Structures are given as structure tokens and as C-alpha cells.
Amino acid sequence: MGLFSRKTVTATAATTVLEAPRPSTATGPDLSHLTGDYVIDATHSRVGFSVRHAMVTNVRGEFADYDGKLHLDGGNPADSRAELVIKVASIDTGNEQRDGHLRTGDFFEADAFPEITFRSTATSRIDADTYRLTGDLTIKATTRPVVLNLDFTGTATDPYGIERVGFEGTATIDRTDFGLTYNAALETGGVLIGEKVKLSFDISAVRAG
């Protein structure tokens, strides 16, 4: 499955990994009818994460406030691109005290660095069903390259006549690469907070204009 899939459904999708892209000469179906600009519909999307806590379980959360835009080129996927801007203050783990701590200098320092951004730099086709989006992820003024393996779940026109495309998936990053180094040792060994953060995406985008 990929950025331009054979399916036509109303689901959503994106998978993100930290690895170098590999070249491919794979071809796929001509989906040039998808070509155009899209904006993320945040009311029908989710940008979430999970991180290991106390070595035994996971804390899950999401960002409620974000904007994103896509340019899809179904005939020439290499010309596709994406941008996502997340408001750090909108972090929500279901615990107000924890959310407040995450906004401080121990973690995101939201007052000084209010946004997390991703901007693509290249798009490549890996095989007939998989597309890979290379880009820059910036957290706390630290920018690292990431590679998103994208699954495109389909396109449909909703009851209001709006054309939608959907993506879903996961990613894993090391939070310490972005200056999020706070931790505490456990009496039983190990640390309170895992370094690996799993990102999850459930994206519905609508055609602009």
C-alpha cells in the first residue's frame, strides 16, 4: 500500500520510520486524478504518541491543535510534498498535571518553542504500493531528518461533496535526539521514561479550493 493506492475507501493513513530511503524503479497505477492541493481536516484526524513509563506500561497522548497541507501528484509522485505544524501547548495525555510538566523546560518548553514542524524534502516510490516521504522534523529548534513510509487508504467524496484522501500509520523517534532528555532512575533499576517515542497518525485531508 502507498501514497497512491489502488483502493478507493474512506479510511485514513501514514507510517513513519527513521531510516534512509532506498531507490526503486517500481511502477504503480496512474492516479493522476488525485493531483492537487489538500489540507488536513483536524476534526477527523489524530496525531498521537506513546512512550514507555516505569519500564512496564505506556503513556499515550495526542496533540489537539495542528495544521497541515499536502500537494499530491498522482502522475509523478516525486512531485508530492507535505507540511505539518503542531501546537505544543495542545498536548493531552489525559492528566492535567502531567501535561503541564510536558510543557515546561524539562520537556518541550512550550513557551519558547511553541511549534513542532515537519516539512518534506523529497518523495520517492519504493514499490507499486509504498511511497516514502523524506523530510525535516523540528522540535525545540533541533531539526533531524526523518523518513515516512506512507500508506494511502483511499479517496472518496463525502455527503457534502467534499473530496477526501486518507492516511494512517506509525513512527518511532528517539526523544533525546531533540533535546527531550529529562528522566528519573527507578529503585528497581531502569528509568521512569523511555527514550523511544512511537508516533501515530490518522489523517483525513480535503481538497483545497
Question: Which residues, at least 6 apart from 125, have a Cβ–Cβ distance to it below 8 Å?
Answer: 2, 24, 26, 27, 28, 77, 78, 131, 132
Q: Report residue 137's pLDDT band, with 50, 70 and 90 as the boundaries.
A: very high
Q: Answer with the residue of higher pLDDT: 75 or 49.
A: 49
Please tell me the predicted confidence (pLDDT) of residue 4.
41
Please tell me the predicted confidence (pLDDT) of residue 196.
93
Please tell me the predicted confidence (pLDDT) of residue 27.
56
DSSP letter at 179? T
Q: Which domains does the chain have, with CATH numbers?
A: 15-207 (2.40.128.110)
Please tell me the predicted confidence (pLDDT) of residue 176.
95
Mean pLDDT of 161-187: 90
Residue 22 predicted with pLDDT over 80: no
Mean pLDDT of 192-202: 91
- Distance between CA 96 and CA 92 in Å, rounded? 8
Q: Answer with the residue of higher pLDDT: 175 or 201.
A: 175
Q: Report residue 30's pLDDT band, with 50, 70 and 90 as the boundaries.
A: low
Q: With H, G, I as helix, E, B as strand and everything else as coil, classify residue 6.
A: coil
Mean pLDDT of 87-94: 98
Q: Answer with the residue of higher pLDDT: 120 or 30.
A: 120
